[in-house]
């Protein structure tokens, strides 16, 4: 049996497309309202997904324009696909890698779904997915990057999903509002809260912690936080995340990476995704720096607007694809 899903605005549109491709004998297995793929879904747009099936071999229901396996890669296809990916903001080297990873039989009529899947495979190694918290998770980055909100979201998710209370450390003696905001979230989740105004205070907070803690640092110029970075970098039990707004230009992002090198970040959190069109401009730099992405944040809601980074989600943020499993499956 051959199964396929169709996402359209209405049930009627989905059924019409299913019957056009699978024939009048197609059997409708389910119909449901789902979030739209890519940014539209993140902003609340909905569609109707219809799953249909037909008792026929795959070749009998081959989508129009899809070449058979024995067909060779046509001349000019690579240029067209690579140009299409570059137009989305990807650098040429990654675009060519995406093209090379596509099966030859799919290159002529590569759909957005096929490109998204191929890109997801390549980006998987640039993400860490769900991972257990380290003993100390520290968050550094430029002012306004979203460090405090990110810390609050992670703590709230741990409380809701794993019934785990993470301690919160406000290593920011400069912004009273940020300290009080973090204190409020600690009260809500029932977690331990500490204020560390000096690097020595941070070291003592780490030493005294009996459960995993999240350290929110001040948004100050990197050179003003050198002593704190020395503390974080010298501890083997600290995992440091560089928090970077998604709309940062590649040149500015490179400067930020260099500026926070002393903190030795081993993860990157991309925030404010809802305020940019695509993550594509940053992918090349992230790939070059070889520091995996831990979280993707697309709003201020705690904890809703934060997701563990995966290859499929990252790819959706880059080229607007879908993060749902395979659109087409064979049974």
pLDDT digit string, tens, across residues 74-91: 556 888 888 888 887 888
Q: Mean pLDDT over residues 254-264, rounded?
A: 94
| CB 214 within 8 Å of CB 240 | no
Q: In whole angstroms, what is the distance from residue 25 CA to residue 241 CA?
A: 53
Residues 6+ apart with CB under 8 A from 31: 11, 14, 48, 49, 50, 51
Sorting pLDDT into bands at 50, 70 and 90, what band is 269? Answer: very high
At CB < 8 A and 24+ separation, what contacts does 32-40 make? 34/7, 34/324, 36/7, 37/7, 37/316, 37/320, 37/321, 37/322, 37/323, 37/324, 38/316, 38/320, 38/321, 38/322, 39/274, 39/277, 39/320
At 275 the pLDDT is: 86
Q: In whole angstroms, what is the distance from residue 133 CA to residue 118 CA?
A: 29
Residue 291 has pLDDT above 90, yes or no: yes
Q: Quick one: tokens of 84? A: 């299409």
| Mean pLDDT, the chain, whole residue set | 79
Q: In whole angstroms, what is the distance from residue 242 CA to residue 138 CA?
A: 9
Q: Which of 41-55, 107-121, 215-229 has the lowest mean pLDDT?
A: 41-55
Neighbours of 86 (CB within 10 A): 15
Q: Mean pLDDT over residues 242-248, rounded?
A: 93
The DSSP H or E segment spanning 205 is helix 199-208
Q: Which of 117-121, 199-203, 257-261 has the lowest mean pLDDT?
A: 117-121
Q: In whole angstroms, what is the distance from residue 185 CA to residue 159 CA?
A: 11
Helix, strand, or coil here: 244?
strand
Q: Mean pLDDT over residues 307-317, rounded?
A: 88
Q: What are phi and psi of 265, to 5 degrees?
A: -65, 140
At 14 the pLDDT is: 75
| Of residues 57 and 299, more confidently modeled | 299
At 293 the pLDDT is: 95
Q: Mean pLDDT over residues 123-127, rounded?
A: 91
Statement: 136-308 belongs to CATH 3.40.50.300: yes
């Amino acid at each position: 049996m051959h199964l396929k899903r169709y996402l359209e605005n209405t049930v009627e549109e989905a059924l019409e497309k299913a019957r056009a491709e699978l024939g009048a004998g197609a059997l409708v297995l389910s119909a449901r309202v789902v979030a739209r793929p890519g940014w539209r879904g993140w902003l609340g747009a909905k569609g109707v997904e219809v799953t249909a099936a037909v008792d026929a071999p795959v070749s009998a229901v081959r989508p129009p324009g899809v070449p058979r396996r024995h067909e060779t890669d046509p001349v000019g296809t690579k240029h067209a696909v690579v140009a299409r990916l570059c137009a989305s903001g990807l650098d040429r080297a990654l675009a060519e890698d995406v093209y090379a990873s596509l099966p030859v039989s799919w290159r002529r009529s590569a759909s957005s779904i096929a490109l998204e899947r191929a890109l997801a495979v390549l980006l998987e190694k640039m993400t860490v997915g769900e991972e257990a918290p380290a003993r100390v998770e520290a968050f550094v980055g430029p002012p306004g990057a979203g460090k405090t909100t990110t810390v609050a979201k992670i703590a709230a998710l741990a409380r809701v999903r794993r019934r785990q209370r993470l301690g919160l450390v406000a290593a920011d003696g400069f912004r009273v509002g940020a300290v009080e905001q973090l204190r409020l979230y600690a009260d809500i989740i029932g977690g331990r809260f500490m204020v560390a105004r000096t690097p020595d205070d941070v070291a003592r907070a780490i030493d005294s912690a009996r459960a995993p803690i999240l350290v929110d640092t001040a948004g100050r110029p990197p050179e003003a936080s050198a002593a704190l970075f020395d503390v974080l970098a010298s501890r083997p039990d600290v995992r440091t995340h560089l928090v970077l707004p998604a709309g940062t230009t590649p040149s500015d992002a490179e400067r930020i990476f260099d500026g926070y090198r002393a903190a030795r970040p081993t993860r990157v959190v991309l925030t404010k995704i809802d305020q940019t069109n695509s993550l594509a401009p940053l992918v090349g730099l992230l790939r070059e720096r070889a520091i995996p992405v831990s979280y993707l944040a697309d709003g201020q809601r705690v904890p809703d607007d934060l997701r563990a980074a995966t290859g499929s989600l990252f790819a959706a943020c880059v080229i607007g694809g879908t993060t749902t499993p395979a659109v087409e499956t064979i049974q």
